[in-house]
């Protein structure tokens, strides 16, 4: 997926200017105006280095210098200093749970942060509530339950809980008995900020408001965004390094939209201007442009943004952001909120409906899915740090290396991690749930709190419907509406055909048959829209 430009960014713009520094930047340098050149001496020194014990090198042959790599033999004192660990507790962070607009009004929603299962819902007053997704009675999932008068009810035995987590009703309890004090839920603090629901995962440390992310561009007047949410079948660290990898876009997403073209694959320039215990930031651009107009920032635990500023013809400054909010949802799984927006919209964004951009985003993820899942599999199988496996180029993989080195600092405070030089494997094997959710799975397939049994609705992270549509109110409504229109067109076509058979006049027969054909055409269009929203993209360059 990564940094494909969105419809908010005009296809033809004036010379971009670097964005202002973020208020939380500690020592952000001015954006470089040109790509740093590699000196002849440095190239010769690199070519003269011997082979490392665990890294492949491209040697100088016939005057061609060795490709500049990012490896442990080349680490500077600054990078080696970054190896030190820092105090870090993964629970003392805010994690993006869901887009606020997509939280169901009438059903609980089961979500995960690493291996912690949560249930999110709105109580009778519309207030967002979050608890551990486990009934204290017999450990049934509360997200399998329902809302009764604003109370969360477990569908196993009907125990009901109010918003603060206190049990207020047990059907099986005698009338003269009191509800046990221990019959309460573990509660998590949630905040609705800039259209996203965030959860504070610590049960020991009170929530820290200063850690709650705030995105300056999203608060600017006139800023509009297209936001989507996706479940993905690979680890959050694999997802994040993919999102901060602009080099793969021309190849992996060739012609997916008007910004990615295979022939544009080229060396990139990077300049890291900030490294802290909370992340890193810097500038990047294409080598042939001689400038780095894009500003990238990664902040703990899993927030990535790519910003750009553009000066319009009248001197007005416009702001654009690609924001990626990632949530680890267990071993080999993650959930991502994607938000592309700006203070100026491309005319194309006004022509196409939102669902078109949503299905296009799903297509982008499907283009990456195969090799990212296999990458995840290799990391789990090899059980060694990424420096033993990756061959990172300085002209394409700088952000990836920075991210894995940041993991070296904080990985000890996470359930598991794969760093540049260190790893810690999961202590417990991943739990695979086979049962689809929902009391009546087929009827509940359109609800994000439930799963389904039909082919399109099967709870499978390789299925576009399950990965995106059930989490998006807008796309669910589109699919349902076009399904209804398709059925209506088919019924109309059948009725018109029957009338044409019974008609005596030749002119009426022709008119009715033409109308029937038009209705079938309408049904085909509706079917195509449904397929666009629910059918996975499959590459056609392979011979199956």
- pLDDT, tens digit, for every residue of 508-541? 999 999 999 999 999 999 999 999 998 888 777 6
Mean pLDDT within 64-81: 58
Residue 141: per-residue pLDDT: 94
The count of C-alpha atoms lying within 13 angstroms of the C-alpha of 515, restricted to the half-sphere facing its C-beta, is 15
> For 442-466, what is each residue's pLDDT tens digit?
334 444 443 333 455 555 666 788 8
Residue 369: per-residue pLDDT: 87
Residue 293: per-residue pLDDT: 92
User: Please, are residues 211 and 450 in contact by the beta-carbon 8 Å criterion?
Assistant: no
Residue 290: per-residue pLDDT: 86
Helix (H, G, I), strand (E, B) or coil at 335: strand
Mean pLDDT score of the chain, rounded to an integer?
Answer: 82
- How far is it, in rounded angstroms, from Cα 199 to Cα 94? 5
172 φ, ψ to 5°?
-85, 0
Bond into 301 cis (ω within 30): yes
Residue 523: per-residue pLDDT: 96
Assess whether pLDDT exceeds 60 at residue 332.
yes
pLDDT-derived band at 45 (thresholds 50, 70, 90) equals very low
Q: Specify whether the backbone of 206 is left (phi greater than 0), alpha (psi in -120 to 50) or beta.
A: beta
Assess whether pLDDT exceeds 50 at residue 417.
yes
**Which residues partner with 325 through β-bridges?**
303, 337
pLDDT-derived band at 119 (thresholds 50, 70, 90) equals very high
Contacts for 273 with CB less than 8 Å, ≥ 6 apart? 27, 28, 29, 31, 281, 282, 283
* Residue that the structure tokens 């602009």 belong to: 246
Going by the DSSP 8-state scheme, the letter that residue 117 receives in this structure is E
Architecture of domain 215-424: Alpha-Beta Complex (3.90)
Written in H, E and C, the secondary structure of 184-226 is ECCECEEEEECCEEEEECCCCCCCCHHHCCCCHHHHCCCCEEE
Mean pLDDT within 262-288: 93
How many C-beta neighbours within 10 Å does residue 436 have? Answer: 18
- How far is it, in rounded angstroms, from Cα 292 to Cα 283? 6
Mean pLDDT within 301-330: 92
Assess whether pLDDT exceeds 50 at residue 113.
yes
- How far is it, in rounded angstroms, from Cα 39 to Cα 43? 6
CATH tag, 94-200: 2.102.10.10
Distances (CA, A) of 494 to 323, 485, 497, 513, 530: 48, 14, 5, 10, 21
Residue 464: per-residue pLDDT: 85
Going by the DSSP 8-state scheme, the letter that residue 366 receives in this structure is H
């Amino acid at each position: 997926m990564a940094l494909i430009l969105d419809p908010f960014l005009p296809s033809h713009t004036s010379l971009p200017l670097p964005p202002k520094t973020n208020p939380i930047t500690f020592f952000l340098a001015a954006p470089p105006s040109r790509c740093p050149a590699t000196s002849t001496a440095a190239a010769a020194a690199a070519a003269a280095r011997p082979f490392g014990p665990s890294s492949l090198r491209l040697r100088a042959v016939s005057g061609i210098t060795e490709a500049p790599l990012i490896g442990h033999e080349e680490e500077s004192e600054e990078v080696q200093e970054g190896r030190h660990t820092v105090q870090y507790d993964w629970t003392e962070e805010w994690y993006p749970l869901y887009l606020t607009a997509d939280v169901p009004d009438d059903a609980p929603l089961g979500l995960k942060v690493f291996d912690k299962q949560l249930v999110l819902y709105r109580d009778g007053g519309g207030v967002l509530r979050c608890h551990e997704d486990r009934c204290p009675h017999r450990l049934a999932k509360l997200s399998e339950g329902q809302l009764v008068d604003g109370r969360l009810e477990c569908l196993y035995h009907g125990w009901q809980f109010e918003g603060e987590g206190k049990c207020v009703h047990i059907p099986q309890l005698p009338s003269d008995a009191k509800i046990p004090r221990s019959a309460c839920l573990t509660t998590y603090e949630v905040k609705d900020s800039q259209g996203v629901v965030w959860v504070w995962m610590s049960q020991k440390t009170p929530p820290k408001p200063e850690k709650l992310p705030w995105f300056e561009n999203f608060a600017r007047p006139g800023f509009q965004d297209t936001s989507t949410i996706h479940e993905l079948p690979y680890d959050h660290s694999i997802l994040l390094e993919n999102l901060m990898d602009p080099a793969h876009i021309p190849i992996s997403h060739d012609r997916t939209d008007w910004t990615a073209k295979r022939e544009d694959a080229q060396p990139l320039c990077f300049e890291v201007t900030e490294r802290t215990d909370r992340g890193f930031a810097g500038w990047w651009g294409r080598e042939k442009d001689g400038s780095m107009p894009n500003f990238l920032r990664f902040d703990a635990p899993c927030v990535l943004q790519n910003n750009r500023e553009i000066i319009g013809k009248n001197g007005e400054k416009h702001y654009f952001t690609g924001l990626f909010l990632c949530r680890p949802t267990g071993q080999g799984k993650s959930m991502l909120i994607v938000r592309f927006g700006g203070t100026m919209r491309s005319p194309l964004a006004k022509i196409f409906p939102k669902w078109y951009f949503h299905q296009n985003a799903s297509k982008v993820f499907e283009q990456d899915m195969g090799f990212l899942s296999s990458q995840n599999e290799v990391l789990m199988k090899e059980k060694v740090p990424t420096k033993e496996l990756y061959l990172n180029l300085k002209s394409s993989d700088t952000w990836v290396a920075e991210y894995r080195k940041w993991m070296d600092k904080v990985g000890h405070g996470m359930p598991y991690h794969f760093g540049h030089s260190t790893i810690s494997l999961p202590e417990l094997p991943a739990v695979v749930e086979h049962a689809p959710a929902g009391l009546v799975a087929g009827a509940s397939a359109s609800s994000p709190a439930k799963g389904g049994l039909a082919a399109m609705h099967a709870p499978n992270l390789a299925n576009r419907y399950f990965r995106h549509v059930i989490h998006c109110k807008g796309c669910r409504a589109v699919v349902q509406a076009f399904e209804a229109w398709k059925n209506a067109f088919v019924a109309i076509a059948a009725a018109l055909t029957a009338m044409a058979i019974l008609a005596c006049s030749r002119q009426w027969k022709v008119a009715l048959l033409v109308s029937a054909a038009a209705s079938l055409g309408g049904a085909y269009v509706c079917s195509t829209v449904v397929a666009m929203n629910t059918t996975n993209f499959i590459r056609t360059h392979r011979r199956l």
